[in-house]
Copies of this chain bind each other. A is one copy, B any other.
Amino acid sequence: MPKVVDHDQRRVEIIEAAWRTIARTGWDSATMAAIAAEAGFANGALKPYFATKDDLLAAAFDHIYVQTGRRMVAATAGKHGLAALRAYCREILPLDETTRDEARVVLPFWHKALTTAHLAARHERAMREWRTQLQRHLSEARDAGEVRTPIPDEDIVGHLLTALLGAQITATLMPDLETAQTLTTQLDAFLELLRGPAGTSCG
């Protein structure tokens, strides 16, 4: 009986091997051969799945996006308003080994996206979706009276997402300066600022 290959499964194995390799050795050293070796496949076994390294990078980005989305769903389950917003943002921040590795793949992705329109479009689609979700949690926090600043939601969401993307840089390039601890403290400080003028303190 011929061996049955689960192509979807194999595709995921390759993608996971790709981002592990890119995270560990960097984009330039992560050759198709190195990624095949990491996945435990023969050289050339990647070609039927990914014709080029750029295709693989796009797939790795999608994979990270989907994984992050799953974590967001789990982290925000049962939470509302500011607590949900905080949990959501924490899943974007590079706070552990896995998410720091993801950041080390996202940086090469951004670099490539600068000159590759379809990668930039992919990034923008993902970011628009995150904005929508951030806005949803923020709205809920406003309704619950947790956020009282008069700053428009749009500016808060834009600023917050920009800061979360910036953390991919600071956490990977300045790991001594920006730790899981400092990034969490900074996020909490920003969310605290959103509470705005406390009505109660004025009587």
Contact = CB atoms under 8 A, between A and B. Distances in A.
Copies per complex of this chain: 2
A155 B107 contact: no
Given A114-B107, A186-B159, A120 B173 contact: yes
Given A189-B151, A192-B151, A26 B164 contact: no
Contact of A189 (B111, B152, B189): B152
A162 B186 contact: yes
Contacts of A113: 173
Interface residues of A, number: 55
A197 B197 contact: yes
A158 B172 contact: no
Given A25-B115, A193-B194, A198-B197, A162 B170 contact: yes
Most B CB within 10 A of own CB, among A114, A120, A128, A187: A114
Nearest to A113: B173
Contacts of A27: 111
A172 B114 contact: yes
Contacts of A159: 163, 186-187, 189-190
Interface string A94-113: 00000000001001101101
Interface string A163-193: 1111101101110111000110111011011
A30 to B, nearest CB: 10
